[in-house]
Amino acid sequence: MPGWGAHYLRAFRTALDREVDVNGGNKMKTKIAIVDTMFARGDMGKIALETMQKNAKENNWKIEIVKETVPGIKDIPVAMLRLLESGCKIGLALGMPGGQNVDKTCAHEASTGIQQVQLMTRKTVLECFVHEDEAKDDDKELASIMHNRSSKHALNILWILFKQEELAKRAGSGERQGKENAANVELK
């Protein structure tokens, strides 16, 4: 019969997403994938992980974070695909493209790969890239951008999963991750 393979694959993925306790009951824990890179000049993955753990604890959200570190941004898509296929519901991709033109091309290719992973798995992956030249040779500003963007994207992941109304109330507000928010304009 057509469609049976897809049915069994969905059932298998659903089973992977559940954590069964020793008493046989289902204890739902949402698995979140984080993939970060060695190339980044700061530990963005650690900031995201700590932000998620703190907010999940405060809100009693049951999460399990599965984190993998890869060498550079072009290595993110395959690592993310592997984690999403192993039961993670959503992913956060953290990386730092360098400031050269070739680095911008690599960032585009990595971004395209991340988009392909989303289409293949039908799961959301938030891309959190901080370009090395965003801070114009100011390491303190670069660190601030990296921390701000990583923590805000981590929070966005939790809101997507558990509190959609937080995103909805900010629609069209000009919120930014990494730098100050932009002013919104009135639409008529």
Segment 111-134, tens digit of pLDDT:
999 999 999 999 999 999 999 998
Q: With contact defined as beta carbons under 8 Å apart, do 115 and 124 qualify? A: no
Q: Determine, yes or no, domain membership for 74.
A: yes
Count structural domains, the chain: 1
pLDDT of residue 175: 67
Q: Determine, yes or no, domain membership for 104.
A: yes
Look up the domain containing 95 and give its range: 27-168
Q: Determine, yes or no, domain membership for 108.
A: yes
DSSP string computed for the chain: -TTHHHHHHHHHHHHHH-EE-TTS-EE--EEEEEEEESSSSS-HHHHHHHHHHHHHHHHT--EEEEEEEESSGGGHHHHHHHHHHTT-SEEEEEE---SSHHHHHHHHHHHHHHHHHHHHHT--EEEEE--GGGGSS-HHHHHHHHHHHHHHHHHHHHHHHH-HHHHHTTTTS---SSSPPPPP----
Q: Determine, yes or no, domain membership for 19.
A: no
For the cut 50, the answer to whether the pLDDT of residue 48 exceeds it is yes
Cα 111 from Cα 55, distance rounded (Å): 27
Q: Determine, yes or no, domain membership for 11.
A: no
Cα 136 from Cα 117, distance rounded (Å): 32
Q: With contact defined as beta carbons under 8 Å apart, do 45 and 82 qualify? A: no
pLDDT-based confidence at residue 22 (cuts at 50, 70, 90)? very low
pTM confidence score: 0.81
Q: Determine, yes or no, domain membership for 13.
A: no
CATH at 31: 3.40.50.960
pLDDT of residue 181: 67
Q: Determine, yes or no, domain membership for 139.
A: yes
pLDDT of residue 64: 97
- High-pLDDT (> 70) share of the chain, %: 80
Provide the residue type at 138 as one letter. D
Q: Determine, yes or no, domain membership for 12.
A: no
